[in-house]
Chains A and B, each alone.
Chain A
Amino acid sequence: MVSTSERHSRPAGRRGHFRGRRRKPPQRRYTGGDIARGIVRTIGELLFTAGILMLFFAAYEVYGKQFKTDQEQQQLAQGLEERWSEQEERGPDAGAMPGQANSRLYIPELDLKWVVVNGVSQEDIRYSPGHYGDDDVSGGDAAAPGEKGNYAVAGHRTPGIFWDLDLLEDGDSIVLEDGENFYTYEVIEERTVTPDHVEVVDPDPFDPENNDDPERALLTLTTCAPKLNNTHRLIIHAELTDTRPKEDGMPDSIAHMAPENQAEGE
């Protein structure tokens, strides 16, 4: 830190005689070398600073967002129960507002759960997975949880959301919870596509002819692939295998993720 510029900095001020260390007279003139060194040093420091900033931002992307996501999820979870009880009174379509909580999604293999919001715009899915609503799928007919058709969910590839989604394997269960039931889906297919393959969120992503009258109840998760990149989409398809009314309690696969246990788990 004791650099050359220290010597010819400013005229010995009040701290100059206090420290008693300034040997050079204040009138010292800058040479061409001093100026060149100063410029090079400043450039070096700017580059160094830019590097630190980028590393710091990378750290934020990995750790900071997870914290923010957890916070946001807790808020959403509080509103979710409320909304479910309201929906019973007003019918299923009431309250399908973008950005509002829609259902709860559990992936026991990854020990993760989220509140899923309505809508897939950047604003909606900043801190939680979002459900492709009627306006977001080509047929204009998005399925409700457990319904025949395709319940499609988009999420960022960030830690705390769909970061480890590639670790899912065929047969792994994904559980969806709405106001009445727990729906258990089993992963049947994983694939990576380019972002223009919008048919993956169609009512029947495997056979477009069935879109008007889908035979299977599917759950589809979409996220970025590869990690921290935007060129492709990782798609997970899962099929409904079990519907369990809420009075019967949580399915065994997610029993350890009950809200009471979750507090100490995270």
Chain B
Amino acid sequence: MYALIWRAIPGPWPVKLLVALALVAGAAAGLWYYVFPAIDPYMPFNDGAVETQGGP
């Protein structure tokens, strides 16, 4: 999987490395700012209220 990505990136290896790092950074930012905030409310461990409304 990672080997495939590595081979799909064009250029000599320093360029490949840079592009790969940029890809990793992009994926991390996307997760951090969009994916994680979106899925966070569905996590079971952050409900602080007692069950007053018929459920947590």
Residues of B whose CB lies within 8 Å of any CB of A are: 1-3, 6-7, 10, 28, 31-32, 36-37, 40-41, 43-53, 56
Contacts and interface: CB of A to CB of B under 8 A. Distances in A.
A45 interface: yes
A126 B41 contact: yes
Contacts of B53: 120-121, 135-136
B50 A230 contact: no
Contacts of B36: 57, 60, 64
Given A45-B1, A53-B31, A230-B56, A198 B50 contact: yes
A138 B3 CA distance: 60
Contacts of B3: 1, 3, 5-6
A46 B44 CA distance: 25
A46 B2 CA distance: 10
17 contacts: A6-B3, A53-B31, A56-B28, A56-B31, A60-B32, A60-B40, A68-B37, A121-B53, A125-B48, A125-B49, A132-B49, A136-B49, A195-B51, A198-B52, A222-B48, A222-B49, A230-B47
